[in-house]
Amino acid sequence: MLDDRIKKLALENMLVSYHAVVSYKIHRNVFESVIPGVLRSYDLTDLVSCLAPRPLWMVNATDPLGHSLTEREVTEEYARSMTTFQMMGSAKSLRVLQRNAGEPFQRTYAELLSRR
């Protein structure tokens, strides 16, 4: 489990995984998101699992080219993390969402912000 001071987390426009970076031949603007050698120890899916059972929302996750992925693509990538959340009795705490350009922040995040 990661730092227990983290009570809930929203990740918007996050890189879907470090593995995706090595799988794609071309990438854009990933240098600030990548830690050299990290895949020897973990990927972002592992970090998400470590945050269970806390509320964690992934909004508009992107591929290494910066293109938004569909909810289905992200859900498939994070299947193991979703299983971890289910095993901890918090399946509904891990959410994959899409937020349209110009959509008010409050509309997307109202439920997460109201959680204690």
Q: How does pLDDT run across 4-60, given as a tens digit for each residue? A: 899 999 999 999 998 888 787 776 777 666 778 878 898 999 999 999 999 999 999
CA–CA separation, 80 and 87 (whole Å): 11
Q: With bands split at pLDDT 50, 70 and 90, how would you rate the model's confidence at 67?
A: very high
Residue for token digits 């959340």? 85
pLDDT value of residue 116: 67
Residues with Cβ within 8 Å of residue 7, at least 6 apart in sequence: 54, 55, 116
Residue 61 pLDDT greater than 70, yes or no: yes
Give CA–CA dist 51/54, Å, rounded: 6
Alpha-carbon distances, residue 69 vs 86, 105, 116 (angstroms): 23, 19, 29
For the ranges 8-17, 78-87, 97-106, which has the lowest average pLDDT? 97-106
Cα(91)–Cα(87) distance, integer angstroms: 8
Find, among 108, 74, 93, the residue nearest to 6 by Cα: 93
